Amino acid sequence: MALLQISEPGQTAAPHERKHGIGIDLGTTNSLVATVRSGTAEPLADTEGEVILPSVVHYGESGEVLVGRKAMALVSSKPFDTLQSVKRFMGRGRADVGSDGYRFVESEGGMLSFETAAGAVSPVQASAEILRVLALRGEQTLGSNIDGVVITVPAYFDEAQRQATKDAATLAGLKVLRLLSEPTAAAVAYGLDSGDPGLVAVYDLGGGTFDISILQLQKGVFEVLATGGDSALGGDDLDRVIVEWALPQHGIEAPDAGLYRTCLNLAREAKEFLSEHTEVEVLIPGQPTLTLARQEFEGMIQALVLRTLRACRRALRDARVEASDIDSVILVGGTTRVPLVRASVAELFGREPLSSINPDTVVAVGAAAQADVLVGNKPDGELLLLDVIPLSLGLETMGGLMEAIIPRNTTIPIAKTQEFTTYKDGQTAMAIHVLQGERELIADCRSLARFELQGIPPMVAGAARIQVRFQVDADGLLSVSAREETTGTESRITVKPSYGLSDTDIADMVRASWEHAEDDMQARQMAEQQMAANQLLEQLQAALDADAEALLSEQERAELEAEMQALAVLRQSGTRQKLKTAVAALGRSSEVFAARRMDASIKQALIGVSVDTLDSDGGLG
């Protein structure tokens, strides 16, 4: 008699069949892929035994696309067609960047693209090529299709940059299980989830971005308490320091694109050499050799390292902890091999940082461990990853004010609802303006999206009940919906901006919120007072147009209109206190008119109603 194979409810009928998930570290300078094999997460090598894939893509005239080392070899001879460090351009617009040795074009929607021999290429398309190569490496190594991928992103990536990364994965034909913050991936790689509870600082200085994250680890839960950093600060900037030191010594003021890109690669090699030696020879093609000492190099990059330490201190303040409270410090990114960086981090936190896992591969290893969980290989051992949003999300309200719905450093996924109402009588539509930032006025925040809620029933101002819901998923992507409660009319949008913040916008926005806190509060109070003046003037003017002739003498009307004119002038040029006083004075002056209107309204309502129809409580029977 044959046996029929069955399974437990909710379990696969082939429990011995293992699913394959991969983790990809899509880096600025280098990228790599890792997976879990025989219970251990490890990076995967290509056919030549190389684990690291340079994040370089070349587009040829005949349409051929080269990725990695083959593309790297064409950086000098084909600088405009060979794209390096495209991660720095993800989710950004043309106005956000300089030349960087490329020819840029702006496509529809404001997205930045590179002009190459094969036509316009966006950072999303170039990133997709890198992802395809890494995914193919995974498939060839594992001998099967990939069931899902976890891709890491800097913790400080904003909405546009995260969405651009997810778009690149979709374009590459990958099923994205999650976008995982690089610091969290590093903590997973070190297995800190299985250790004692504690606070961990992850200092991540890669090729193009810097992140600092403060994590609370307890019982398998990774909670990001605070995050900070700079989306345009990394090893590339240290390389530029060397180039800017070397070229003027040879009298080269404006190198062509090919020479500049060559110099950047030579500077990177010099930087790496100085991590192990006290001096290095820098040879620019066709020029005499220069000698750069490590001590001189450290003096040149001191300001950049201090920028990372300031971000660390801000993250500690946001997490409400001291540097001495940190139990472990993890170094991530190849740039952390620079001795000055390691020494500075150790001094700040008062302990030697962990670096036993290769800082170039640690993020991919952690992503692979999480991918193994999410494809279903470890249903009983799932890690709970609680990330946070880097900047507050909110709406524009009347007076050009930013109303934060989800504050920065809120744990995600998260959904929050807030109720709003109409500003004018008979308003049948509402414009929803979604913003990101830390300032009080919308002019100082970043616009993410706009949409309209139509079909609001005409009511008096303030009567409508409109619920606006913000939802941020585990990948940090935002969707917003608005619903009018009386009719059920609803409108929604997935926030997918075409481009993101400029190089230092995120860090600048947070810093500016502290530096201008008092000014912002005064500006908000002024805007609120101006809005109160506007409402009073509009309502009073409507009342005068309707009933002034019947209820006011010419002198009374003239006095009210004179006060209204004075308030209109103060609204534009007066101080907040003067405006507040004028609003209160006009309110008192219009009380008699308001009382007469109410009396007239009651008399009109009672015309034709006899005393007999009134009940004992004085109401209408």
Q: What is the pLDDT of residues 130-155, one digit of tens each?
A: 999 999 999 988 888 888 999 998 87
Which CATH number is correct for 518-606, 1.20.1270.10, 3.40.50.2000, 3.40.50.620, 3.40.50.720? 1.20.1270.10
Q: Which residues contact 54 (CB under 8 A, 6 or more apart)?
A: 29, 30, 31, 68, 69, 71, 72
- Alpha-carbon distance 512 to 614, whole Å? 63
Burial 223-250 (b: 16+ CB within 10 A, else e): bbbbbbbbbbbbbbbbbbbbbebbbeee
* pLDDT in the model for residue 387: 64
Q: What rounded mean pLDDT belongs to the chain? A: 79
Q: For domain 389-514, which architecture applies?
A: Sandwich (2.60)
Handedness of CA 73, 75, 81, 83 (dihedral sign): positive
CATH fold of 21-385, please? Nucleotidyltransferase; domain 5 (3.30.420)
Tokens of 70: 């083959």
Burial 99-117 (b: 16+ CB within 10 A, else e): ebbbebbeeeeebbbbebb
Q: Given the structure tokens 């002009």, which residue do they identify? A: 115
Torsions phi, psi for 607 (to 5 deg): -60, 125
Q: Which range, of 79-88, 103-112, 128-137, 387-396, averages the lowest pLDDT?
A: 103-112
- Alpha-carbon distance 140 to 134, whole Å? 10
Q: Which range, of 93-107, 209-223, 279-293, averages the lowest pLDDT?
A: 93-107
Task: Evaluate whether 393 touches 407 at the Cβ level (below 8 Å).
Answer: no
Torsions phi, psi for 388 (to 5 deg): -130, 160
Cβ-in-10-Å burial (0-12, 13-18, 19+) of 575 comes to exposed
pLDDT band at 97 (very low <50, low <70, confident <90, very high): low
Q: Residue 276 carries which side chain, given as an amino acid letter?
A: E
Q: Is the pLDDT of residue 16 over 80?
A: no
Residues 32-46: tens digit of each pLDDT: 999 988 888 899 998
pLDDT band at 94 (very low <50, low <70, confident <90, very high): low
Q: What Cα–Cα distance (Å) separates residue 248 from each residue in 241, 282, 373?
A: 12, 13, 53
Nearest to 453 by CA among 419, 411, 493: 493
Q: Residue 23 carries which side chain, given as an amino acid letter?
A: G
Helix or strand (DSSP H, E) at 589: helix 576-589
* pLDDT in the model for residue 520: 58
Chain CA centroid to CA 147, Å: 28
Residues 251-293: tens digit of each pLDDT: 888 888 788 888 888 999 999 999 999 999 988 888 898 999 9
Handedness of CA 375, 381, 382, 388 (dihedral sign): negative
Nearest to 270 by CA among 250, 294, 299: 294
- Helices assigned H by DSSP within 479-553: 505-515, 517-551
Q: Is the pLDDT of residue 618 over 50?
A: no
Q: Residue 523 carries which side chain, given as an amino acid letter?
A: A
Give the active site residues.
25, 87, 182, 204
Q: Give the HSE-up count for residue 19: Cα atoms under 13 Å, Cβ half-sphere.
A: 18
Q: Is the pLDDT of residue 616 over 50?
A: no
- Alpha-carbon distance 277 to 332, whole Å? 21
Q: Which residue has the higher pLDDT, 383 or 221?
A: 221
Handedness of CA 236, 241, 247, 252 (dihedral sign): positive
Q: Give the HSE-up count for residue 217: Cα atoms under 13 Å, Cβ half-sphere.
A: 27
* pLDDT in the model for residue 137: 92
* pLDDT in the model for residue 605: 63
pLDDT band at 473 (very low <50, low <70, confident <90, very high): confident
Q: Is the pLDDT of residue 617 over 50?
A: no
Task: Evaluate whether 17 touches 5 at the Cβ level (below 8 Å).
Answer: no
- Alpha-carbon distance 599 to 394, whole Å? 43
Find the mean pLDDT for residues 540-564: 82
Q: Given the structure tokens 């374009």, which residue do they identify? A: 171
- CATH 2.60.34.10 domain position(s) in the chain: 389-514
- Alpha-carbon distance 469 to 478, whole Å? 10
Q: Is the pLDDT of residue 48 over 70?
A: yes
- Alpha-carbon distance 467 to 559, whole Å? 41
Tokens of 309: 């330490």
- CATH 1.20.1270.10 domain position(s) in the chain: 518-606
- CATH 3.30.420.40 domain position(s) in the chain: 21-385
